[in-house]
Structure 1
Amino acid sequence: MVKWLKRLFIAFFSLGLLGIAAIIAAYFYVLPDLPDVTTLKTVKLQTPLRIYSSDGKLISQFGEKRRIPLKLEEVPKPLLQAFIATEDARFYEHKGIDPIGIIRAASVMLATGEKKQGASTITMQVARNFFLTRDKTIIRKVKEIFISIHIEQLLTKDEILELYVNRIYLGQRAYGVGAAAQVYYGKEVSELTLPEMAVIAGLPKAPSTLNPITSKARAKARRNVVLMRMNEVGYINSSEYQAALESPITAKYHGAVIDLYAPYISEMARDYLVAKLGEEEAYTGGYDIYTTVDSKLQLDAQKALRNNVYSYDERHGYRGRVKELWNTTALEPEEITAKLKQTGAFQGMFPAAVLAVNEQTASVMNAKGETIELPWDGIKWARKFITNKRQGKAPKLAADILKPGEQIWIRNNGDFWQLSQVPLVASALVSLEPHDGAIRTLVGGFSFYTSQYNRVTQAKRQLGSNIKPFIYSAAMEKGYTLATLINNAPINEPDTRQGTAWRPKNSPDVYGGPTRLRVGLAQSINVMSVRAMRYAGLDATIAELVKFGFDPADLPRNESIALGSPSVTPLQVVTAFSVFANGGFLVEPYFIQRVETANGDIVEEANPTLACKPPVAEPVISDDPFAAMAHELQASTTPLEQLPEIDDTLQCGDEDARYAPQIISEQTAFLITEALKSVIWGGGDWSKGAGWNGTAWRAARVVKRRDIAGKTGTTNESRDTWFSGFNPKLATTVWVGFDDHSQELGRTSWNANGAKDQISLAEAGAKTAGPGWNEFMKDALSGTPEVPTSPPEGIVSARIDLATGKLTRKTDYTSKFEYFISGTEPTEYVTDQEDNSDIFIDKTEEDLFQ
């Protein structure tokens, strides 16, 4: 017996030595391939790129892996317990591998022939997720064991668990519990219920087959296993266990919680970071980009553009149904909704089927199966579209427009449901702060879904009469004043630079003789702009436009430049107009406020140009005149790129701030602004029959502020329409046209079913782009105080005669006070013999087309 025991001991001892030798051999065999686990100390979890508004609203996120990194203390304790109970009940007891768990799993497999229990610890899963593949090989398992032992030596249990809950894949592109809570329940992880936590904790075993969205029955069975383990281990009591078992599976897919849908600006931010860092780093580095866009203003801009596009599209007529769902035999409600669900909602429009048409109403069904009544006010606009220039007769009955079985679009206009259609016209809106160039809103088109073409930055369109303030600025720098008379008469000396005679005409083709510059700009009189350009000189005019930031390559060397032949982007236009708003400084537009890492470290911050003069340097006091001269020379030649980095708190007067160049004098900027106010408010005494409108008189009625100024713009054949304007705090440009340059915006006839203040006749800047600007600026400036007019130093005022621009002693409606740069005011008084009959009078409110 002793002999057999001795032999048995020797056998076991030998086997033990062989086992130890095998482990040592295995270790040295895989040692060259073992990774450096110390990298876990500084591990950087792959997280998506996120884009935010300036006030912290999430605009978009990019990246294939959705992850919301959390500190361990941010994860609810029951969720941690659910993972431990299910995946590794002895997690806090073993040293990376669990021999008891391995023996238990092996015995179950030997007894049943099936692998019902896993032997991987949480540490081993961390090792696999960070360093290994999921290939089921012996070598991979050996590596996993040794890496786990190293990890346990390097990190604490809590550090390992934190890595696990942030790294584990949980299906639906969700990595970590933070992302899983959002994807499956649309919640913060702290808001999860016990049954919801159990669902998530059950996913690591098989994220695809146990998915609660696609496999609810399997997910419920796995959830119940997790709850059972939590109850067995003692993490929950029997009543909590039973209550959780009775809870239904409520998971459904939730996309990223986007607070502000602003796709054009988010795409610009994405492009910027990808160009700077490359796709891999940009999409996985966890960067947060904070743009300059204000969420409230952005929503105002999107609404104004959308409403304006709808308005243009609807006044040009109804293009008919989307398609016919049935002809004679109506479909069942289930069939109708099934067909409607094939078409998604679009920019506030929803697909609907016409069920019945009454005298002046129609009943429709939406994709939810709800019946909606369309009132006459919601369908009477829909006279037939013939061309962009022609519309059919105003309908009198609903049957003139709709019939049962048609699939149409409907939208809620805020008051009631109405018939709608997908607009074909394009538009863009951009606004910025004149003080530093921060872009506050940017809408590159009606729908990013149908066109990612960003018209704010990419579309170069003819500027039309929006160019005239810059033409007059050049003339004023040569000596013109707001009271200068320019002959409003046909031009008989053609410009032949293009090889053909070019004789510009007014629109409408009416001429009033000598007219003051202020009126000429306010009324957008073409021949006066050409004559002002001729006075300044073509070369000086082009040089002036270049100063305002326009590309010389876009400026033709002929007189058509005076009427807006250059093609430019809306961003260039709003930047140029901001010069008048800020006192003459050309700021650099920018849209990224700062870039942060996932840890909140700022890696890049805006260094905007400020619209103010830099502080005057203190004189250098030195006994050595040559040393003083050298100091001044060095200060004057320091490159801008060598200036220290600054943050966005720098203000005018700070030595470290970056200053915008002053391209025109503050006085010229003030005078042009005054003339642009007349574009909106007009002038004269209406009670005496001497009042007149500027081209943008609608803005006065809508925005109702005296601190706004602006300019309309229309090109030949109404292919491009513009409205650009500002107050001292915000500059905005709106463009409307077709992406196809050959298409004209056309005209509309009077609609008998329309409102009294409806827009009709030829499309133009005031009527096509202007309403979008009016609505946006009304909402954007609401609640902000008006900025009173404050003439800068060097501006004087003098009472002038309205007909001649000369000084006058009269104080009646034939005279007014006008602003001048000191030294340019008239010195001659009007005489009684001079005729006052040419005072510009507009006795109607007929639209002016520029």
Structure 2
Amino acid sequence: MSWVKKLLIVCLVGFFAGILTIVAMYFYVRNDLPDVATLKEVKLQTPMQVYTADGQLISQFGEKRRIPLKLDEMPPLLIQAFLAIEDTRFYEHPGIDIIGIMRAVTVVASSGDFSQGASTITQQLARNFFLSREKKIMRKIKEVFLAFRIEQLLSKDEILELYLNKIELGHRSFGVGAAAQVYFGKTVDELTLDEIAIIAGLPKAPSTLNPIRSPANAKNRRDIVLTRMRAINVISEQDYRTALAAPITSKLHGAQITASAPYIAEMVRQQMVERYGEETAYSEGYRVYTTIHSQHQHAAKQALQQNLYNYDERHGYRGAVAKLWKSELAEQTGTPEDTYPEQEQQPVFTEEGRPEHAEIINYLTKQQGIEDLFPAVVLTVYNNSADVLLASDQIVTLEWDGLKWARAFITDERQAVAPKSAAATLAPGMHILVRQQDEQWRLSQVPAASSALVAINPENGAIQALVGGYSFSQSQFNRVTQAKRQVGSNIKPFIYSAALEQDYTLASIMNDAPIHQWDDNAGIAWRPRNSPPVYDGPIRIREALAKSKNVVSVRLLRGVGIDESIRHLQRFGFAANDLPRNETLSLGSASLTPLELVTGYAVFANGGFLVTPFIVDRVLNEQDEVIYQHLPEIACTECQTTAASDDELAAAEPEQAGDSEQQLYELFNTMQQTESAPADDPGVESEPEPATPILAEQVISSQNAFLIADALTSSVWGGGDWAKGTGWNGTAWRVQRLKRRDISAKTGTTNDSKDTWFSGFTTATAVTTWVGFDDANRSLGRAQWHANMGQDQSAGTESGARTALPAWLDYMTKVLPDYEQQPMQAPTGLASVRIDLASGLLSRSTDHTSSFEYFKIGTEPTQYSQNSVQQIHFDNDKKAEPDESELF
């Protein structure tokens, strides 16, 4: 009995000693323990997400990938998997698991190995929020005390929810929501049992157990999780066996992007970092809604890329990416050595003959495609087709329609003869690029030329679509906002606008004849020429603009004066240092970005107002509160009491200005309701109180804007009477395909076709496209006649109409149905007068020799071509409706 008493005393002493030790340790570390009350208001770092106006995800930015979820949003099986492997007694212990601790102590005492874990989920939460991961006794002691505090502060469900959202799971994913997306491209409710087990097994060592880095390790850990789940009867035997047999199929997934607009995403990222700072912008879970519509953006990207493919095909095939093995066909035909000498290289596979199928697939899986181009290897070449192998182990056939374009590229100006068979272009063993077009596979290549497309709302400057190049992954240089290129004839509407501010009208007669001017400084004569070099003699300004007559533009610049012309062009937002102070300005030697140019064209579209382009509509925080709302400057012709001149606008009566302010406020509220709110944004329950709208500066009179816009409709529809032999086309006649009378447009081409442009607008949208090489010294060249293409081709020198217009036309074909046809209404202060088409004077004729023309009141012609009564119709609401025979 004495032995039992001594043992009891020793136990009691040990017990009290343990208690005292724990108390002592608590007092020793308590000053170092953080305040766990912060968990009540914890704010998990979440990435910034960028959306279209209709709620489609464009991109997300942030070091940590996290998709916060409520506990009831997580599948029960997922929760049970984590509990099974991490903390089976989670809902029973007070924050620490005594059994687990004793097991770990035993292992340490017997082997000195600290790898045995004993941390509960509560302890892991404490470590993740407040402590490091180093395996030291003092850290473990702090962890225990923090776990007790957390259990007193939070409920078990709150602890588990925080843990499952906070835990690091590899590849910058934090929380189960992000892990499901990163590893499987799914939401948590879409995960299968084996995928759940993989994710539940990650907390122990996310860098080495994740299925992307080490599928074998991930499988072993998954099987352990499944075994634990089966042991505690969370899953059935059948489910257990099925999950064990499932292969590891994980791959790295990005965010679930539903709208491809990387150039826009980068613009937004830069603005957000500038406004909020990098750390805040990337971690506060901001949701940024842009002004673009996903369908319009998709149409813009497709139009730009297809146009570049078309240009590339016109100029020839530059050869295969690589040669994998030498083939008898290549030796017999001389392909690719003789046809594409620049592609001469040693075969990837050195052995003679075709390698094993698996080797080819292994090679292809390591190759990178770009955009919609897929790497492929030629297996068999027939007379007019070829079989190629894709990385997906799919064999597809390139039919003759997808091959016949591929004559060899020689220079930008020259192409080889058209191929007569597939063997003239391809040989087995070639690594090529292919794409699908109209459900047909087609030989392709990465375009050598570059392009840009931008569309804005003329009423407020909202960017509706923007594509800064062929591929953001290829080049992050945004040609819409960063590339200043010579604009060519796209400058002419602004030169003509300056002329209308002087004594010129659309009916003024100019001499379309060659100019020869001696330059004393250069010692040579300057001879600007029309393109093509055709001269019509006396010509009305309307017709000269529609036909893009170079010499008329030069003469107008001379009439207005260079200094006055530059001052006028600056009204459109063009910087003075981008406008050369010489007569080449009239031909487009000014260098502007596509965004600057389209903003200038928007002035004609909206009645004379200079709007400021913007891409961010509003920013919401994690609580769905609007923390930033862009307030655009609005073009509002109705808000002006008169549009006769800028001086008259400035002299408006106070009472009239008050009415204008009310009109502007009503217009702003209407635009906010119809354009700002995304269709798929459930976060905003009610509209914020509208701020006071801002009126954009009116930089030219509404009459001037209307006259230029109306003249540019003649660029589309031409004029004259074809039946009488007087018909003529404007440079944008291809736009007639859209069958709309509310489109104004202008082509643009620089010397040697180094830059090609097309700009066009309606009252609802203004769009500019540019095509050229990033090397500003390289010409787009010309495409020679292609025997295989027949009439289905575009041969000749590249130009705005041939090279840039097709992308604009393709885009507008898809988006214009969203905008009601609405011809621009003539403002007050204009007179509609019937004139003689040959002289620009008044006419009493009603046949093909005359037509109605608009004039600012007071600038109408006072003479007429025949002895008749002068006919002038003042129409403040709309253009007079002449007979069809009288239309330009």
**Percent identity among equivalent residues?**
55
Deviates more, 1:82-91 or 1:119-128: 82-91
Q: 1:718 to 1:599 in 2, by over 3 A?
A: same
Partner of 1:22 in structure 2? Answer: 21
Partner of 2:879 in structure 1? Answer: none
The question of 1:788 aligning with 2:812 is answered: no
Q: 1:353 to 1:759 in 2, by over 3 A?
A: same
Partner of 1:96 in structure 2? Answer: 95
Instruction: Determine the C-alpha separation between the residues in 2 that align with 1:664 and 1:632.
Output: 20
Residue 141 of structure 1 deviates from its aligned partner by 0.4
Residue 63 of structure 1 deviates from its aligned partner by 2.4
Partner of 2:697 in structure 1? Answer: 661
Residue 157 of structure 1 deviates from its aligned partner by 1.9
Residue 577 of structure 1 deviates from its aligned partner by 0.5
Partner of 1:845 in structure 2? Answer: none
TM-score of the superposed pair, with normalisation by structure 2: 0.86
The question of 1:320 aligning with 2:319 is answered: yes
Instruction: Determine the C-alpha separation between the residues in 2 that align with 1:219 and 1:370.
Output: 29
Instruction: Determine the C-alpha separation between the residues in 2 that align with 1:232 and 1:337.
Output: 42
Q: 1:693 to 1:650 in 2, by over 3 A?
A: closer
Q: 1:610 to 1:316 in 2, by over 3 A?
A: same
* One-letter code aligned to 2:359: E
* One-letter code aligned to 1:370: Q
* One-letter code aligned to 2:623: N
Partner of 2:798 in structure 1? Answer: 763
Deviates more, 1:107-116 or 1:735-744: 107-116
Q: Deviations over 1:548-598 (max 9, x none)?
A: 000111111111111111111000001110111111111100011112223
State how many pairs are aligned: 812
* SS at structure 2 position matched to 1:595: strand
The question of 1:671 aligning with 2:738 is answered: no
Is contact 1:333–1:369 with CA below 8 Å preserved after alignment? no
Q: 1:616 to 1:570 in 2, by over 3 A?
A: closer
Is contact 2:490–2:588 with CA below 8 Å preserved after alignment? yes
The question of 1:717 aligning with 2:752 is answered: yes
The question of 1:371 aligning with 2:395 is answered: yes
TM-score of the superposed pair, with normalisation by structure 1: 0.90
The question of 1:700 aligning with 2:699 is answered: no
Is contact 2:639–2:659 with CA below 8 Å preserved after alignment? no
Q: 1:576 to 1:630 in 2, by over 3 A?
A: closer
* SS at structure 1 position matched to 2:396: strand
Instruction: Determine the C-alpha separation between the residues in 2 that align with 1:510 and 1:630.
Output: 53
Instruction: Determine the C-alpha separation between the residues in 2 that align with 1:712 and 1:224.
Output: 66
Partner of 1:305 in structure 2? Answer: 304
Partner of 1:423 in structure 2? Answer: 447
Alignment of 1:818-837 (within 5 A): 818-831=853-866
Residue 734 of structure 1 deviates from its aligned partner by 0.5
Residue 489 of structure 1 deviates from its aligned partner by 1.7
* SS at structure 1 position matched to 2:206: coil
**Which among 480, 487, 490 is matched to residue 514 of structure 2?**
490
Is contact 1:355–1:363 with CA below 8 Å preserved after alignment? yes
Residue 343 of structure 1 deviates from its aligned partner by 2.1
Is contact 1:650–1:657 with CA below 8 Å preserved after alignment? no
Is contact 2:516–2:526 with CA below 8 Å preserved after alignment? no
Is contact 1:495–1:559 with CA below 8 Å preserved after alignment? no
Instruction: Determine the C-alpha separation between the residues in 1 that align with 2:243 and 2:365.
Output: 35
Is contact 2:36–2:146 with CA below 8 Å preserved after alignment? yes
Q: 1:75 to 1:335 in 2, by over 3 A?
A: closer
Partner of 1:282 in structure 2? Answer: 281
Q: Which runs of 5+ in 1 are unaligned?
A: 618-628, 637-643, 834-850
Instruction: Determine the C-alpha separation between the residues in 1 that align with 2:816 and 2:184.
Output: 38
Partner of 2:882 in structure 1? Answer: none
Partner of 1:730 in structure 2? Answer: 765
Instruction: Determine the C-alpha separation between the residues in 2 that align with 1:100 and 1:32.
Output: 28
* SS at structure 1 position matched to 2:471: coil
Residue 107 of structure 1 deviates from its aligned partner by 5.4
Is contact 1:800–1:808 with CA below 8 Å preserved after alignment? yes
Residue 817 of structure 1 deviates from its aligned partner by 1.3
Partner of 1:684 in structure 2? Answer: 720
Instruction: Determine the C-alpha separation between the residues in 2 that align with 1:151 and 1:798.
Output: 85
Q: 1:504 to 1:615 in 2, by over 3 A?
A: closer
**Which among 760, 774, 778 is matched to residue 739 of structure 1?**
774
Instruction: Determine the C-alpha separation between the residues in 2 that align with 1:138 and 1:711.
Output: 77
Is contact 1:498–1:558 with CA below 8 Å preserved after alignment? no
Alignment of 1:37-56 (within 5 A): 37-56=36-55
Q: 1:33 to 1:658 in 2, by over 3 A?
A: same
Is contact 1:724–1:731 with CA below 8 Å preserved after alignment? yes
**Which among 517, 528, 543 is matched to residue 567 of structure 2?**
543
Instruction: Determine the C-alpha separation between the residues in 2 that align with 1:243 and 1:391.
Output: 60
* SS at structure 1 position matched to 2:101: helix
Residue 370 of structure 1 deviates from its aligned partner by 3.0
* SS at structure 2 position matched to 1:56: coil
Is contact 2:457–2:463 with CA below 8 Å preserved after alignment? yes
Q: 1:755 to 1:278 in 2, by over 3 A?
A: farther
Q: 1:5 to 1:94 in 2, by over 3 A?
A: same
Partner of 1:815 in structure 2? Answer: 850
The question of 1:152 aligning with 2:151 is answered: yes
Is contact 1:432–1:441 with CA below 8 Å preserved after alignment? yes
Deviates more, 1:807-816 or 1:381-390: 381-390
* SS at structure 2 position matched to 1:505: coil
* One-letter code aligned to 2:204: K
The question of 1:527 aligning with 2:563 is answered: no
Alignment of 1:30-429 (within 5 A): 30-106=29-105, 118-233=117-232, 235-236=234-235, 241=240, 244-245=243-244, 247-328=246-327, 329-429=353-453
Instruction: Determine the C-alpha separation between the residues in 2 that align with 1:604 and 1:584.
Output: 29
Residue 110 of structure 1 deviates from its aligned partner by 6.9
Instruction: Determine the C-alpha separation between the residues in 2 that align with 1:342 and 1:90.
Output: 46
Instruction: Determine the C-alpha separation between the residues in 1 that align with 2:845 and 2:368.
Output: 67
Q: 1:17 to 1:334 in 2, by over 3 A?
A: closer
Instruction: Determine the C-alpha separation between the residues in 2 that align with 1:750 and 1:442.
Output: 33
Residue 217 of structure 1 deviates from its aligned partner by 4.9
Instruction: Determine the C-alpha separation between the residues in 2 that align with 1:282 and 1:447.
Output: 25
Instruction: Determine the C-alpha separation between the residues in 2 that align with 1:500 and 1:278.
Output: 56
Residue 257 of structure 1 deviates from its aligned partner by 1.3
* One-letter code aligned to 1:798: V
Instruction: Determine the C-alpha separation between the residues in 1 that align with 2:138 and 2:499.
Output: 83
* One-letter code aligned to 2:380: A
Is contact 2:637–2:702 with CA below 8 Å preserved after alignment? no
Is contact 1:463–1:720 with CA below 8 Å preserved after alignment? yes
Q: Deviations over 1:223-274 (max 9, x none)?
A: 4443444455454456655655555555443332111221111111111222
* SS at structure 1 position matched to 2:145: helix
* SS at structure 2 position matched to 1:671: helix
Instruction: Determine the C-alpha separation between the residues in 1 that align with 2:457 and 2:285.
Output: 29
Is contact 2:631–2:691 with CA below 8 Å preserved after alignment? no
Q: Which runs of 5+ in 2 are unaligned?
A: 328-352, 642-652, 661-667, 677-689, 869-888
* SS at structure 2 position matched to 1:742: coil
Q: 1:635 to 1:240 in 2, by over 3 A?
A: same
* SS at structure 1 position matched to 2:598: helix
Alignment of 1:572-721 (within 5 A): 572-612=596-636, 648-649=672-673, 656-701=692-737, 703-721=738-756
Instruction: Determine the C-alpha separation between the residues in 1 that align with 2:427 and 2:278.
Output: 51
* SS at structure 2 position matched to 1:779: helix
* SS at structure 2 position matched to 1:175: coil
Q: 1:742 to 1:438 in 2, by over 3 A?
A: same
RMSD (Å) for aligned C-alpha atoms: 3.0
Is contact 2:68–2:165 with CA below 8 Å preserved after alignment? yes
* One-letter code aligned to 1:158: D
* One-letter code aligned to 1:546: Q
